[in-house]
Amino acid sequence: MAEFQVHILAADKTFYEGPCESLTIPTSDGEQCILAHHSSMIAAVLPGTLRYRVPGQPVQTAAVSPGMVKVEHNDVLVLVDSAERPEEIDEARARREADQAREALLQKRSRQEYQVAQATLARALNRLRVKSSYSHLEQ
């Protein structure tokens, strides 16, 4: 299968840089699958599951938060707030974050605090979904 270069960068680390055969990312238009020689594009990345295949390896997954993706000249740049492999996700912590965010949503607060709580809840639920999917694959 043909390859392209991918750079998956989170705010605090380089998640992965190197050759890739396929990349599936959650966008505002649904999941976008990118293969070698994909047409140029820029899209918003939504919280969800990112999947990518490194040559000679099985598909790998990650929980990603909002960001953007740029495809140009067989080179893909993914910039997200956070990217975590399923084995890196602390399920108990994610559950606590989800509970705290739900509680914050119930409080009558400012619009900004409400939006932050919504984003926190979306991130926590996404982390739990990715962790749960990964756990089922291990069994």
Write out the residue range of the structural domain in which residue 102 sits: 87-138
With a threshold of 0.95, does the pTM exceed it? no
**Do residue 77 and residue 14 come from a single domain?**
yes
Q: How confident is the model at residue 79 (pLDDT cuts 50, 70, 90)?
A: very high
- Clarify whether residues 65 and 125 are in a common domain: no
Closest by CA position to 132, among listed 64, 66, 86: 86
- Does 132 lie in the same domain as 69? no
Phi, psi of 89 (to 5 degrees): -80, 125
Of 2-6, 69-73, 118-122, give the lowest mean pLDDT range.
118-122
Treating both helix axes as pointing N-terminal to C-terminal, what angle do 91-106 and 111-138 enclose, rounded to 10 degrees? 150
Task: Compute, in degrees rounded to 10, the torsion defined by CA atoms 128, 6, 22, 49.
Answer: 10
- Indicate whether 74 and 53 sit together in one domain: yes
Q: In this predicted structure, what is the pLDDT of residue 108?
A: 67
Last residue of a domain, one of 49, 64, 84: 84
Same domain membership, residue 106 and residue 119? yes
Residue 67, pLDDT > 60, answer yes
Tell me: do 70 and 106 sit in the same domain: no
Residue 139 has pLDDT above 60, yes or no: no
In the predicted structure, residue 106 carries a pLDDT above the cut 90: no
Decide: helix, strand or coil at residue 12: coil
The answer to whether residues 102 and 42 belong to one domain is no
Count of CB atoms situated within 10 Å of the CB of 125: 18
Count of structural domains, the chain: 2
| pLDDT band for position 99 (cuts 50, 70, 90) | very high
Whether residue 93 sits in one domain with residue 55: no
State the CATH number of the domain containing residue 128. 1.20.5
Tokens of 19: 């050759």
Report pLDDT digits (tens) over 14-34.
999 999 999 999 998 899 999
60 pLDDT more than 90: yes
* Residue 66: predicted pLDDT: 93
